[in-house]
Structure 1
């Protein structure tokens, strides 16, 4: 492996000399913050708890769960790491099957979608960087989808989620 001679780390954000006690721990048995018949979401690290650096969530999708249709984010990247099961991932060009240990990185502006097309649950980590206030999105998206397409579109946009179905073009829709 080669190393860059003049590599640079980001500018320091902590300027103390001794370090500080500031870590946070979440036990594996902590119940998910959001649960529904179709799955659950656990808040591992939120925008608030990381000072906006990132948001990390564990998602569990039940069998045949619709997931999210094709969309993109303007302000943040989104990454998926498959913990168990199989997850169909749209990378902007094609659908791929993600299995345990597989990873998909989607930069800001990158089209993506996901769904569970199997008869078994799937669990994954979702990383948003920088962190956004995703908790309200996870907690209320099902409710907002019942309020009609315009309310849902407004809600999605407020949460930096631009769905191709909302643009009227129908581009890059999933099969």
Structure 2
């Protein structure tokens, strides 16, 4: 059973992924797996997510503060607070903060499934500055409906 929820700023379970913090505001267990919402805060000059696709997941990104470079298919878009990117299934996307100030994104997932487990796994793989192998990253990605886009795997 889903329960009503109020989270104040700074509240919610968080994980640290290199210099970024991902806070799980709403997870699938809160919404019968219909929807999830995470707050993703990136330090200046931070890579976020390299281009990837989801086969069963729609993702929405909303820039709350700072300037973010959004990648949709192979196009790079400079986005500021108030910008939104809707990413349907099988669409290559990614994001980063190339700027000199921190950036904050809201990332929404439909269906939510257990998407937080991907971010928890990534936090564990990169803990204490560790660089995971390509094999470790691909294994984690594939367990949570995340794949390299076709252009990244071509010849």
Q: TM-score, normalised by structure 2?
A: 0.87
Deviation (angstroms), 1:168: 3.1
Contact 1:32 1:40 in 2 (8 A): no
Q: Deviations over 1:82-118 (max 9, x none)?
A: 0000000011131101110110000011110111111
Q: Which residue, 141, 145, 155 being the options, matches 1:160? A: 145
- Secondary structure of 2:28's aligned partner: coil
The gaps in structure 1 that reach 5 residues or longer are: 1-20, 171-175
CA RMSD of aligned residues (A): 2.2
Out of 72, 87, 91, the residue aligned to residue 91 of structure 1 is: 72
| 1:136 maps onto 2:121 in alignment | no
Secondary structure at the residue paired with 1:30? Answer: coil
Runs of 4+ in 1 over 4 A off after TM superposition: none
Instruction: Please identify which structure carries the higher strand content.
Output: 2
Q: Helix, strand or coil: the match of 2:29?
A: coil
**Larger relative contact order (Cα-Cα within 8 Å, sequence gap ≥ 6):** 2
Decide which structure has greater helix share.
2
Contact 2:44 2:102 in 1 (8 A): yes
Aligned to 1:50: 31
Farther off after superposition, 65-74 or 28-37? 28-37
Higher Rg: 1
Alpha carbons of structure 1 residues 45 and 102: separation in structure 2 relative to 1, 3 Å: same
Asked if 1 retains the 8 angstrom alpha-carbon contact of 2:43 and 2:101, the reply is: yes
Between the aligned partners of 2:20 and 2:135, the Cα distance in structure 1 is 25
Q: Any residues of structure 2 matched to 1:19-168 within 5 Å, and which? A: 22-30=3-11, 33-144=14-125, 146-164=131-149, 168=153
* Whole-Å separation in 2 of the counterparts to 1:95 and 1:165: 17
Which is further off, 132-141 or 50-59? 132-141
Task: Return the alpha-carbon distance in structure 2 between the equivalents of residues 53 and 31 of structure 1.
Answer: 19
* Aligned residue-pair number: 150
- For the residues of structure 2 that align with 1:40 and 1:163, how far apart are their CA atoms? 23
